Chain A
Amino acid sequence: MAGKPKDEILHDHNHDGIDRRGFLKCMAWAGTGAFCVMQGGVLKSYSLSGLSGLNAKEMKGELSFVQISDSHMGFNKPANTDVAGTLKAAIDKINALPTAPGFILHTGDITHLSKPEEFDGVDQLLKGASAKDIFYVPGEHDVLGDDGKQYLERYGKNAKGAGWYSFDQKGVHFIGLVNVMNLKAGGLGSLGTEQLEWMEGDVKHLSKSTPVVVFAHIPLWSVYPAWGWGTDDSAQALSYLKKFGSVTVLNGHIHQTMQKVEGNVTFHTAASTAFPQPKPGSAPSPGPMKVPAEQLKSLLGIRDVNYVQGKHSLGVTDSTLE
């Protein structure tokens, strides 16, 4: 690396790996494109515009994957009349990444109305992605009218219950959860007893040094309960993960990037590929946000995640479509 990037975090007063000023900086960049990576226990953040100054080795992990979310195929209202076009732009962005991702996670709301032709449309477009393996969890828009039957037929062949499952990639344990089924009046997202019991058993025999990635549609932390942006029984799920040194939670649903660190857990929500939603409480409702056409792609995006074995946490890069 030629010279130290000027945005690197230098102060770690609490020896907790996080420099407060740098962390806030990292937070501030979320949504406009940020690259945050834990290296040797120190969180470093860079603006995307400064990335060209970094050498490739620093950027490249042993495991690299992409998260996309909320493609809402079939949506055709003024907030975005061409969701197929913006999904295509997201795929182009994935294909242009310097390191080809090993696979793609889609964190739900694949479709807008659970119609077969909407699922088909997404499947067809994703055939053009450089990564061929795609792992899904359903959003509430993917299980409309049939309690998720069609979703399970398409994507849940190796899944349990309403579509939850786990898998391992290069030493990282991935857990896909479903929190959009059997929702109760007045409540938030819900995992349910059966899924929680399965999850407890799923992680029981893992060593505490195993990095864990949990992905689900609705946020697993209370982003804004008044708009339903949270999951009623997520605390129970997170209690099973306390022993692990590194837990990364990836969610969608709120159509904007947000991050939060709580102990060993780093929470991230992803941008949509279809339309933005307002910041919590900033509008009468969380409905689609209409922005000037030339701004739309700057509010949509993809997320690139890198893991380097032996490092504490996963490096997460959010980048907008334009």
Chain B
Amino acid sequence: MKRTVSTLGFAALAIVILMVAGRSRIFGVALEDKPTAQVKIDNFVFSPNPLTVPAGSTIRWTNQDDIPHNVVSDDKSFKSKVLDTDETFTYTFTKPGTYTYFCSIHPKMTGKVVVQ
């Protein structure tokens, strides 16, 4: 019986750790951030645009075009690698503010994230 209790306790702890890890980086291990909002890149357009999210949100961009794009903030505070078709980029916005970004390969493509 005692053993069952400790197993359950360990399992509960593991679940808590996984839940926390899913939302942020802990224990020095970078885990894939779970997105809370999505931006799709389709027909050379970011949408939705602008996107308003609460602070702490993780946004995932997905390239749905046949042409590679990237996601680069105007002030270079974040920059994705080149995203080929179906590739994604995630970034977590911790501080409130307005973040403008663009595709540096096709600079006519611009977008904005408003963090509240």
Contact = CB atoms under 8 A, between A and B. Distances in A.
Contacts of A177: none
Given A185-B74, A185-B100, A228-B106, A113 B67 contact: no
B33 interface: no
B89 interface: no
A185 B43 contact: no
Interface stretch (A22-30, A121-129, A158-166, A282-290): A282-290
Given A185-B100, A186-B110, A144 B68 contact: yes
Contacts of B74: 185
A77 to B, nearest CB: 4
Nearest to B72: A185
Interface stretch (B24-32, B47-55, B79-87): B79-87
Interface in B58-116: 65-68, 74, 81-82, 84-85, 100-102, 104-108, 110
Interface residues on A, range: 20 to 34
B105 A285 contact: no
Contacts of A114: 82
Interface string A261-297: 0000000000000000000000011111000000000
Contacts of A304: none
Residue of B66, B105, B110 most packed against chain A (CB within 10 A):
B66
A144 B83 CA distance: 10
A155 interface: no
A50 to B, nearest CB: 37
A255 B32 CA distance: 38
A145 interface: yes
A141 B43 contact: no
Interface in B34-52: 43-45
A287 B107 contact: no
B82 A145 contact: yes
Given A284-B43, A286-B44, A79 B110 contact: no
Given A286-B44, A287-B44, A185 B66 contact: no
B82 A113 contact: yes
A287 B66 contact: yes
A184 interface: yes
Nearest to A182: B104
Contacts of A187: 107-108
A227 B110 CA distance: 12
Contacts of B106: 140, 228
A284 B64 CA distance: 14
Interface of B: 43-45, 65-68, 74, 81-82, 84-85, 100-102, 104-108, 110
Given A77-B66, A78-B66, A228-B107, 5 more contacts: A77-B85, A145-B82, A228-B108, A287-B44, A288-B66
7 contacts: A112-B68, A144-B82, A183-B107, A185-B102, A187-B108, A284-B43, A287-B66
